[in-house]
Amino acid sequence: MRRVSIFGATGSIGQNTIDLIRRDAAGYDVVALTGGANIAQLASDARALGAEIAVTADESRLEDLRAALAGSGVEAAAGRAALVEAAHRPADWVMSAIVGAAGLEPGLRALEQGATLALANKESMVCAGPLMLRTARGSGAEILPVDSEHSAVFQALIGEDIGAVERVIITASGGAFRDWPLEDLARATPAQAATHPNWDMGQRITIDSASMFNKALELIETREFFGLKPSQIEAVVHPESMIHALVGFRDGGLMAHVGPADMRHAIGFALHYPARAYLPVERLDLVALGQFSFRTPCETRWPALRLAREVMQAGGLMGAVFNAAKERALDAFIAERIGFGEMAAVVEEVLDRLSSQARHNPDAITLDNVAEADHLARHVADDVMAARRA
Ligand code: NAD
Ligand code: MG
């Protein structure tokens, strides 16, 4: 029996993870499931899987959660401290699938207790890559990427020498506005941005796909995870979303990872690694697909990609500043306080204002200074947005 915990169990990645675990429920001993406001989902999964504890991040919902779990034997808890306590509970495998910087601390605590961390929460690597890797080395824990591009790179690198890698290419679908006329982007609404041509994901990452802030985070994640130079990492637009990433070696060979747009592949790979187990995903019919196409991403349409290069070059706490400013700008866009195109302008101004303070030796990155940079960047982003409205 493998002891597993799922942070962000009620979300898109969390539910896909539960789908895989349910298919072989006898093989798993579920320790913790966590969620937010969706108490009914959290409680029903916790009951069905016989979890030891269910935690909602929302303190005001503790009584609802207790009521929903009455008589089940599942412990109920709420709030930040309960989330961190749950991450300390011994587990063999932990899924990190909370959205945003809020996912960093639970993932770190899971690494400290030596669990294998299946990392969907890309923000952890963006905000605190060196800290994540150092914590894993310290306890002997392993981090397995679950972002589809990074899982693809990881798989292409099995048995290879990282020193022989020339470049890594991650693909981008282009999101909802790939083919929109540029002049229409300023009027794009949150509902329009929250539709994705190929993937079914949470609202925030879907909007980040339309702006390519998601790809920007993934470029930084690639640098942190695999220790490559920024000049070795590229993004290309690949509208079919069938090739997730390619690794180019010094002999000119390119290893591509091809698969359906179904996150259960990357999740299942991390769940069974190093074995390859059967997974219930579509088998691609190449002839029916016919062809794959690629385009250079236009940085006028997607300025987030240019900002990602600046962040990769700067390193230090700039990733934490970038992510926090992006989260604030995204909140404002979802609340219809700023336009679609303004998100990148706000993030750029926050980066400019904080670039001198955010320089930091990677070895000196701690949870405290990441939290401080995050807090400051949110504050400055709010100032920038208030000044733009004045
Ligand atoms: P989602 O919005 O569907 O789910 C997010 C989960 O986090 C929910 O369980 C929610 O209750 C919980 N949560 C939200 N805010 C929280 C907070 N402040 N504290 C604690 N819990 C909180 O998101 P998702 O699409 O499943 O994405 C989860 C993570 O995985 C993100 O980092 C995303 O970038 C990454 N990811 C997702 C996909 C995908 O296909 N959905 C693919 C690659 C990477
Ligand atoms: Mg991805």
- Ligand 1 pocket, residue 98 CB under 6 Å: yes
- Cα 347 to middle of ligand 1, angstroms: 21
State the CB neighbour count (10 A cutoff) for residue 240.
Answer: 17
Instruction: Tell me how far apart the 2 most distant CA atoms of the chain are, in Å.
Output: 62
Annotated ligand binding at 122? The verdict is: yes
- Cα 218 to middle of ligand 1, angstroms: 15
Angle at 210 between CA 206 and CA 214, to 5 degrees: 65
Q: Which of 290, 267, 287, 291 is nearest to 279 (CA)?
A: 267
State the pLDDT confidence band at 357, using cuts at 50, 70 and 90. confident
State pLDDT tens for residues 51-68: 999 999 999 999 999 999
DSSP class of 250: T
Pocket test of ligand 1: the residue of 38, 99, 281 to mutate, having most ligand atoms within 8 Å of its CB, is: 99
- Cα 5 to middle of ligand 1, angstroms: 15
What does the pLDDT read at residue 234?
98
- Ligand 1 pocket, residue 122 CB under 6 Å: yes
Annotated ligand binding at 16? The verdict is: no
- Ligand 1 pocket, residue 174 CB under 6 Å: no
State pLDDT tens for residues 62-96: 999 999 999 999 999 999 999 999 999 999 999 99
What does the pLDDT read at residue 197?
86
Preceding omega of 239 cis (within 30 degrees of 0): no
Mean pLDDT of the chain: 97
On the question of pLDDT at 360 being above 80, the answer is: no
CA of 120, closest atom in ligand 1 = 30
In 3-state terms, what secondary structure has residue 8? coil
Q: Which of 205, 232, 206, 230 is nearest to 220 (CA)?
A: 230
Q: Which ligand is nearest to the CA of 33?
A: 1
CA of 200, closest atom in ligand 1 = 40
How would you list the strands of the sheet with 53-56, edge to edge? 75-78, 53-56, 28-35, 2-7, 93-96, 116-119, 143-145
Residue 33's H or E segment, with its range, is strand 28-35
On the question of pLDDT at 230 being above 80, the answer is: yes
Annotated ligand binding at 151? The verdict is: no
DSSP class of 6: E
Burial (CB count within 10 angstroms: exposed 0-12, middle 13-18, buried 19+), residue 39? buried
Is 376 within 8 Å of 336 (Cβ atoms)?
no
Fold topology of 2-145: Rossmann fold (3.40.50)
On the question of pLDDT at 202 being above 80, the answer is: yes
Annotated ligand binding at 268? The verdict is: no
Q: What CATH number does the domain located at 162-260+297-389 have?
A: 1.10.1740.10
On the question of pLDDT at 340 being above 80, the answer is: yes
State pLDDT tens for residues 43-53: 999 999 999 99
Q: Which of 355, 348, 336 is nearest to 303 (CA)?
A: 348
The token duo for 389 is 């409205």
State the pLDDT confidence band at 220, using cuts at 50, 70 and 90. very high
In 3-state terms, what secondary structure has residue 71? coil
Torsion of CA 263, 264, 265, 266, to 10 degrees: 60
On the question of pLDDT at 42 being above 80, the answer is: yes
Can you count the helices (H) and strands (E) in the chain? 16, 11
**pLDDT over 70, % of the chain:** 100
- Cα 73 to middle of ligand 2, angstroms: 37
The residue-averaged pLDDT of 212-226 equals: 98
Q: Distance between CA atoms of 384 and 376, rounded to whole angstroms?
A: 12
Give the closest residue (by CA) to ligand 1 atom 15. Answer: 99
CA of 263, closest atom in ligand 1 = 40
State the CB neighbour count (10 A cutoff) for residue 162.
Answer: 10
Q: Distance between CA atoms of 221 and 223, rounded to whole angstroms?
A: 5
Domain boundaries, the chain: 2-145, 162-260+297-389
The residue-averaged pLDDT of 104-116 equals: 98
Annotated ligand binding at 72? The verdict is: no
- Ligand 1 pocket, residue 8 CB under 6 Å: yes
Q: Which residue has 């993934």 as its token pair?
A: 218
What does the pLDDT read at residue 363?
83
Pocket test of ligand 1: the residue of 5, 6, 12 to mutate, having most ligand atoms within 8 Å of its CB, is: 12
State the pLDDT confidence band at 161, using cuts at 50, 70 and 90. very high
Q: Distance between CA atoms of 245 and 161, rounded to whole angstroms?
A: 17
- Ligand 1 pocket, residue 292 CB under 6 Å: no
The token duo for 175 is 């999101």
State pLDDT tens for residues 258-294: 999 999 999 999 999 999 999 999 999 999 999 999 9
Is 52 within 8 Å of 31 (Cβ atoms)?
yes
State pLDDT tens for residues 304-339: 999 999 999 999 999 999 999 999 999 999 999 999
Q: Distance between CA atoms of 202 and 266, rounded to whole angstroms?
A: 16
Is 231 within 8 Å of 168 (Cβ atoms)?
no
What does the pLDDT read at residue 70?
98
pTM score of the predicted model: 0.98
Annotated ligand binding at 12? The verdict is: yes
What does the pLDDT read at residue 301?
96
On the question of pLDDT at 362 being above 90, the answer is: no
On the question of pLDDT at 358 being above 90, the answer is: no
CA of 121, closest atom in ligand 1 = 32
Q: Which ligand is nearest to the CA of 106?
A: 1
Q: Distance between CA atoms of 331 and 174, rounded to whole angstroms?
A: 21
